[in-house]
């Protein structure tokens, strides 16, 4: 391996853990000083220093990162507006039931939304003021603009090494690339999702940890790590959202509990009545048991699953 200064490091095994970077804002004005992203510790510190009571924040992107920042801003007394080009929040990562719930919950807490609209440009309007011009012709004033429109895998080093990449460095179930001495882990990889018979790129701490275990087991000659159930979480105001599995090949969606109570879960089932994924809002038992049922591939009784008066432990057939 050759470093930037020309020095060389010999290796028997190499792990690429180059992560991902924030996707660049797709509009003029994205390079203005008070247009921010959130991906690194420095990004977080810059955002922390910029957010204060009465700050006007415009968030571009209604995904988890955007909603988490908007919630944190409102909690300290700032004003937050979320601009999302899709017709609903979390359109690429959550079901419509969850989207509707978070739209209502965040609106009740004072966040304003511009759904089905895009940012045409951001322009300076004084020393520390910005104007966010929407494609509708409307203008949102802002002190800070946070862009949260996804991430791009840092695969350039892998490509330069001649390794196969496709929206991430391609690895197998042992986190190995096509070169058996080079491994890849974390956000930079496109990896097998064995439970769902496909590949995907997962951006989460649990995924990086599991792939690190896979690589370590392979390098040390230990038994393969059993396939894990992907899981994720997000804190929104005082709510905790926990997600297990991925909603592939879903034929039925079951809501357990009442969203108006701010405590419910959404189960995604395939044609064989096996749970593919669960999204749980302040419902830790449903998350934990749902994760176990996904792994076990056990069929469930849909009528019992739909009834929150019946213990989640009693829904398996």
Q: Inform me whether the pLDDT recorded for 316 exceeds 90.
A: no
114 has which bridge partners? Answer: 83
The helix or strand, by DSSP H or E, that contains position 207, with its residue range, turns out to be: helix 205-219
- CB neighbour list of residue 179: distance below 8 Å, 6 or more residues apart: 161, 163
Q: Inform me whether the pLDDT recorded for 127 exceeds 90.
A: no
Question: Residue 31 — pLDDT band, cuts 50, 70, 90?
Answer: very high
- Quick check: 264 and 256 in contact, CB under 8 A? yes
For the chain, list the domains and their CATH numbers.
Answer: 14-19+152-219 (3.50.50.60), 27-148 (3.50.50.60), 238-314 (3.30.390.30)
CA 239, chain centre distance (Å): 16
Q: To the nearest whole percent, how much of the chain has pLDDT over 70? A: 100
Question: Residue 128 — pLDDT band, cuts 50, 70, 90?
Answer: confident
Tokens of 83: 């601009």
Quick: pLDDT tens for 285-303.
999 999 999 999 999 999 9
Nearest CA among 146, 188, 154, 156 for reference residue 171: 188
- Quick check: 145 and 159 in contact, CB under 8 A? no
Average predicted confidence (pLDDT) for the chain: 96
List the 56-60 sheet strands across, edge first. 35-36, 144-147, 56-60, 79-84, 112-115
Quick: pLDDT tens for 178-234.
999 999 999 999 999 999 999 999 999 999 999 999 999 999 999 999 989 999 999
- Quick check: 199 and 171 in contact, CB under 8 A? no
As a whole number of angstroms, the distance between CA 253 and CA 305 comes to 11
> Pseudo-torsion of CA 140, 115, 266, 308, nearest 10°?
70
Q: Inform me whether the pLDDT recorded for 82 exceeds 90.
A: yes
Q: Inform me whether the pLDDT recorded for 50 exceeds 90.
A: yes
Question: Residue 173 — pLDDT band, cuts 50, 70, 90?
Answer: very high
Distances (CA, A) of 266 to 251, 279, 287, 307: 13, 5, 10, 12
């Amino acid at each position: 391996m050759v470093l930037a200064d020309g020095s060389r490091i010999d290796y028997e095994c190499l792990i690429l853990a180059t992560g991902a970077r924030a996707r660049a804002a797709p509009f003029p004005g994205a390079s203005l000083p008070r247009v921010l992203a959130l991906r690194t510790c420095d990004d977080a510190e810059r955002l922390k220093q910029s957010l204060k009571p009465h700050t006007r924040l415009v968030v571009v992107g209604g995904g988890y990162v955007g909603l988490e920042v908007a919630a944190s801003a409102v909690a300290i007394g700032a004003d937050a507006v979320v601009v999302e080009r899709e017709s609903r929040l979390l359109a690429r990562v959550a079901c419509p039931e969850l989207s509707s719930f978070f739209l209502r919950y965040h609106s009740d807490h004072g966040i304003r939304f511009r759904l089905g609209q895009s940012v045409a440009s951001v322009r300076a309007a004084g020393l520390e003021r910005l104007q966010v011009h929407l494609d509708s012709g409307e203008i949102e004033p802002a002190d800070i603009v946070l862009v949260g429109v996804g991430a791009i895998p840092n695969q350039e080093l892998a490509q330069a090494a001649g390794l196969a990449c496709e929206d991430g460095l391609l690895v197998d179930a042992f986190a190995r690339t096509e070169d058996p001495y080079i491994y890849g882990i974390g956000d930079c990889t496109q990896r097998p999702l064995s439970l769902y018979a496909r590949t995907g790129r997962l951006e989460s701490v649990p995924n990086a940890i599991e792939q690190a275990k896979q690589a370590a087991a392979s390098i040390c000659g230990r038994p393969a790590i059993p396939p894990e159930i992907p899981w994720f979480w997000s804190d929104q105001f005082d709510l905790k959202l926990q997600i297990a599995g991925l909603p592939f090949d879903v034929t039925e969606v079951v809501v357990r509990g009442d969203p108006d109570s701010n405590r419910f879960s959404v189960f995604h089932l395939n044609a064989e009545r096996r749970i593919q994924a669960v999204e749980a809002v302040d419902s830790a038992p449903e998350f934990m048991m749902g994760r176990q049922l996904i792994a076990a591939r056990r069929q469930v009784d849909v009528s019992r699953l739909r009834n929150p008066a019946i213990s989640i432990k009693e829904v398996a057939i």
